[in-house]
Structure 1
């Protein structure tokens, strides 16, 4: 496996390990998606909740990822 593919696979693994730490953010995103599912205007979105979830995942994953790079 090429080094870049190994790094991508490791990042995906670390992100999966971190997702359980971000259940509150995921629940907020899912609740928002449920609220806006019937929006016909196309104006409603859940990008704030989506980015909050990934910020949480990144916060958890970054130290693990950089430790693996040393």
Structure 2
């Protein structure tokens, strides 16, 4: 039984050194796209909605539309840029 436990944990490192980590190009492109003017505008609308909804104790409003608008704007930008970074 002890041998089996060592086999399971022996092959997986606890922490990957920073020098060998591979960054996901999708995450990098998403971060860049979130800085574009259109994404900044839709994020501001989302944050305004979240603060408005959060300040009320009893409301039926949610920020689904604003969230989808932000995600759509970001993903539209990402779709144009991500394929250039793939091999």
Instruction: Tell me which interval the TM-score lies in, with the shorter structure as reference length.
Output: 0.7 to 0.9
Is 1:43 the equivalent of 2:73?
A: no
The answer to which structure has the higher helix fraction is 1
Which entry has the higher C-alpha Rg, 1 or 2?
2
Quick one: distance in 2 between partners of 1:68 and 1:31?
33
TM-score when normalising by structure 1: 0.76
Is 1:15 the equivalent of 2:36?
A: no
Over the residues paired in the alignment, what is the CA RMSD in angstroms? Answer: 2.0
In structure 2, the residue matched to 1:31 is 48
Indicate if the aligned counterparts of 2:43 and 2:70 stay in contact, CA closer than 8 A: yes
Segments of structure 1 that go 5 or more residues without pairing to the other structure are 1-5
Q: How many equivalent residue pairs?
A: 65
Quick one: distance in 2 between partners of 1:20 and 1:55?
14
By relative contact order (CA 8 Å, sep 6+), the higher-ranking structure is 1
TM-score when normalising by structure 2: 0.63
